[in-house]
């Protein structure tokens, strides 16, 4: 019960933005910033997987508008609105996960650099500094891939929003024709988004694997 209450307290600290207190409390249980970083990368990877699937599914919904009977336009609009809302939610989750990675990485690297001066053995200090630089390089590659993928979400979301609004305001045959044309034009952007998401997911997998096998130990 005590641990459950403490876990709840940790969640509140994290939500409140008390990152220093949160990290300190986690360390009391042997969970260090490095471990938290790996966990958050996993969470971000999962969020990107979900977003990739949702954007692909939503795009299929928009493409299918061309086959809808006029009598089903209202129902179709409701489906597209739901698809857009869920896509926007997934995008927000991805962005928040990426931000959470940035926060813990900043704290980790700041701590690691400050602790280098505590070494008395210069060989060990040099080895740790090399590992720090290696980890920072891995992180830069990861966050770069995640940012590139995330940046591709907004143009697609904007297009989904435009199409949803247009159908809402024009429930007629002309609206179907217009949406079909814009959906087909969106194909390349959706494909690029999915490719960037897959590249980011691969970077995340590589980062997690290297951190866990100890190639970037500090």
pLDDT in tens, 83-112: 999 999 999 999 999 999 999 999 999 999
Which CATH class for the 32-213 domain?
mainly alpha
Which tokens in the block code for residue 196?
Answer: 């960037």
Residue 163 has, within 13 A of its CA and on its CB side, a CA count of: 35
pLDDT of 5 above 80:
no
Average pLDDT, integer, range 10-36: 73
- C-alpha torsion angle, residues 7, 12, 16, 22 (rounded to 10): -20
pLDDT in tens, 136-184: 999 999 999 999 999 999 999 999 999 899 888 887 777 777 777 788 8
- Say if residue 196 is exposed, middle or buried (CB neighbours under 10 Å; 0-12, 13-18, 19+): buried
The pLDDT value recorded for residue 10 is 52
How many whole angstroms from its chain centre is CA 66? 32
The domain ranges of the chain are: 1-31, 32-213
pLDDT in tens, 24-66: 787 888 888 899 999 999 999 999 999 999 999 999 988 887 7
Which tokens in the block code for residue 5?
Answer: 């209450």
The CA distances from residue 136 to 27, 54, 112, 141, in Å, are 21, 31, 11, 9
């Amino acid at each position: 019960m005590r641990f459950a209450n403490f876990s709840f307290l940790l969640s509140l600290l994290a939500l409140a933005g008390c990152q220093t207190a949160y990290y300190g409390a986690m360390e009391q249980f042997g969970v260090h910033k490095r471990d938290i970083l790996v966990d958050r990368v996993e969470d971000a990877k999962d969020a990107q997987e979900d977003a990739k699937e949702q954007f692909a599914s939503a795009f299929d919904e928009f493409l299918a508008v061309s086959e809808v009977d006029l009598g089903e336009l209202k129902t179709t609009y409701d489906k597209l609105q739901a698809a857009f809302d869920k896509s926007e939610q997934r995008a927000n989750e991805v962005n928040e996960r990426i931000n959470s990675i940035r926060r813990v990485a900043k704290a980790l690297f700041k701590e690691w650099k400050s602790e280098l001066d505590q070494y008395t053995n210069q060989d060990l200090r040099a080895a740790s500094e090399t590992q720090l630089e290696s980890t920072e390089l891995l992180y830069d590659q990861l966050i770069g891939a995640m940012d590139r993928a995330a940046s591709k979400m907004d143009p697609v979301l904007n297009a989904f929003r435009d199409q949803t609004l247009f159908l809402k305001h024009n429930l007629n045959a002309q609206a179907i024709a217009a949406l079909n044309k814009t959906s087909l034009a969106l194909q390349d952007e959706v494909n690029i988004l999915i490719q960037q998401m897959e590249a980011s997911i691969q970077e995340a997998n590589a980062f997690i694997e290297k951190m866990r096998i100890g190639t970037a130990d500090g």
